């Protein structure tokens, strides 16, 4: 079970979010991940360690490389938690729609 504290904390950094956004289009090595940033490879490696221990990425061994990819379980856990807020807001919008619909039909009744 991924820890939501460490997962959200890992997501609070713009470089780590950019790394995840890059991994959304597929697996990548540290070298490939470091390329677009003005950061050293050791700095990227540190960010990857944070993402890995937060359960947001998975690394596999491929010879001397350790390519990274998104970790479905960790991202699902964050997403499921957020779904609760998303659904609550959607319900509020539905209620607002109902109120507006009633107001409109009342208005129509007022027309002589």
Residues 6+ apart with CB under 8 A from 39: 15
- Residue 12 or 61 with smaller CB distance to a copy of itself: 12
Q: Which residue has the tokens 């490939």?
A: 32
- Residue 62 or 87 with smaller CB distance to a copy of itself: 87
- Residue 84 or 111 with smaller CB distance to a copy of itself: 84
CA 65 – CA 27 distance, rounded (Å): 12
What is the DSSP annotation of 13-68?
SHHHHHHHHHHTT--B-HHHHHTTSSS-HHHHHHHHHHHHHTTSEEE--BTTB--E
- Residue 23 or 34 with smaller CB distance to a copy of itself: 23
Closest approach of Cβ 73 to a copy of itself, in Å?
10
Closest approach of Cβ 97 to a copy of itself, in Å?
14
Residues of this chain that interact with a copy of itself (CB under 8 A) are 4-6, 8-9, 11-14, 17, 20-21, 23-25, 70, 72, 75-76, 78-79, 81-82, 84-89, 92
């Amino acid at each position: 079970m991924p820890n939501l504290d460490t997962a959200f904390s890992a997501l609070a950094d713009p470089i780590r979010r950019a790394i995840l956004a890059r991994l959304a289009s597929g697996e990548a090595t540290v070298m490939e991940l470091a390329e677009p940033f003005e950061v050293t490879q050791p700095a990227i490696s540190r960010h990857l360690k944070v993402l890995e221990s937060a359960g947001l990425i998975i690394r596999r061994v491929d010879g001397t490389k350790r390519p990274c990819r998104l970790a479905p379980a960790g991202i699902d856990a964050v997403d499921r938690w957020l779904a609760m807020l998303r659904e609550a807001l959607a319900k509020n919008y539905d209620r607002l729609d109902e109120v507006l619909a009633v107001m409109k039909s009342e208005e129509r009744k007022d027309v002589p």
